[in-house]
Amino acid sequence: MLIRRPPDIPSSEITPRELYMKRRLFLKAGAAGLAAASPAAAAFFGGDSEADRIGPGPKPYADAPRHPASTEEEPTSYKDATTYNNFYEFGTGKDDPARNSDAFEPRPWSVQVDGECHKPATLPLDDLLRPHTLEDRVYRLRCVEAWSMVIPWVGFPLGDLLARFEPTSAARFVEFTTLLDPAQMPGQRSRVLDWPYREGLRLDEAMHPLTILAVGLYGEVLPKQNGAPLRLVVPWKYGFKSIKSIVRIRFVRERPATAWNTSAPQEYGFYSNVNPRVSHPRWSQAKERRIGDGLLAPKRETLMFNGYGDQVAHLYAGMDLTKHF
């Protein structure tokens, strides 16, 4: 069932259009490198498509410029992208988040940023977002269940945000934490995971210009079942790295414990990079099925680093990617 964004959300709860329309200068230092992306990832998305336009709510981000590394592939339908989700806080079934998140309130919201940094702070969401350019980025996202989607995310570079808090020289990793609220998130009443959900990146991964904090998709505000109001998107990693409804970001010295790596370390490594040569203990990851293709459609070859190898492979130089999976 498709959960529609309630029509009574006041306009004050939506990022003002003028804030992002004035801030289109993006990644001055990194844009040139992104423009030189590989054929699988480099081209602009190239024109609006019907799937990019449809959706139930207002589109405050409809005019956000597209990221230079956006894929040319046709986006997944809005319905599939918002009704087939992993968000265990609302249940373990793919349709549970859409069915069980209607009562969730993603506003007001604040994010605590602390740890190994010179300027720790807890900021309301609007203050957190205000300085940033919002980009409409279309990325291919994959997860370990051998299904994938193409979603036009709207977001800004995580690195731009992290730099504001001035991480110290001791900071080597970034830890993210999801809201803990079993009253609003019924899935947290079960013991399927060790709540609250936590995820982590190495600092250089977090600062990479392809890593974004998403606040929307398909031109509209991020739906509840997709991680409202703020979620992580790391396009060269598996989907479970995309922590949702973030309330805390912490700079740390040691590699943080993450939800799935803690729950099943033999199946879910810390790095979670897309590597078709590393099989999951229970299935091959050499091929994947695109959501919307149908069960009878042939699977696609899984691309190393999800097709973003030209941009990110250097982050893992000298590492054994069959061991550090």
pLDDT in tens, the chain (325 residues): 222 233 333 333 333 333 333 333 233 323 322 222 222 222 222 234 444 545 667 788 888 888 888 888 888 999 999 999 999 999 999 999 999 999 999 999 999 999 999 999 999 999 988 877 666 666 555 444 446 899 999 999 999 999 999 999 999 999 999 999 999 999 999 999 999 999 999 999 999 999 999 999 999 999 999 999 999 999 999 888 999 999 999 999 999 999 999 999 999 999 999 999 988 888 888 999 889 888 888 999 999 999 999 999 999 999 999 999 9
Q: Which two tokens stand for residue 303?
A: 């691309």
**Which bin fits 91, alpha (ψ -120 to 50), beta or left (φ > 0)?**
left
CA distances from 35 to 42, 44, 209 (A): 6, 9, 12
Please tell me what DSSP assigns to residue 123: E
Asked if 247 contacts 178 with a C-beta cutoff of 8 angstroms, the reply is yes
Domain regions of the chain by residue span: 11-316
- The rounded distance, in Å, linking the Cα atoms of 200 and 171 is 13
State the pLDDT at residue 64: 81
Q: Retrieve residue 32's tokens.
A: 């040139």
Among candidates 96, 73, 102, which has minimal Cα distance to 84? Answer: 96
Backbone angles phi, psi at 52, to 5 degrees: -75, -20
Q: Tell me the HSE value of 147 on the side-chain side, using a 13 A CA sphere.
A: 15
**pLDDT score, position 228:** 98
SS3 238: strand
In the prediction, which pLDDT does 257 show?
Answer: 97
Distance separating alpha carbons of residues 68 and 137, to the nearest angstrom: 8
Query: From the CA atom positions of the chain, what is the Rg in Å?
Result: 18
Look up the pTM and report it. Answer: 0.82
pLDDT digits over 206-218, tens only? Answer: 999 999 999 999 9
CB 243 within 8 A of CB 176: yes
Count other Cβ atoms within 10 Å, centred on residue 28: 7
Q: Cis bond leading into 229, ω under 30°? A: yes
Pick the CATH number of 11-316 from 1.10.10.2840, 3.90.420.10, 3.40.50.300, 3.40.50.720: 3.90.420.10
What number of CA atoms fall less than 13 Å from residue 167's CA on the CB side? 23
How is residue 68 written in tokens?
């230079």
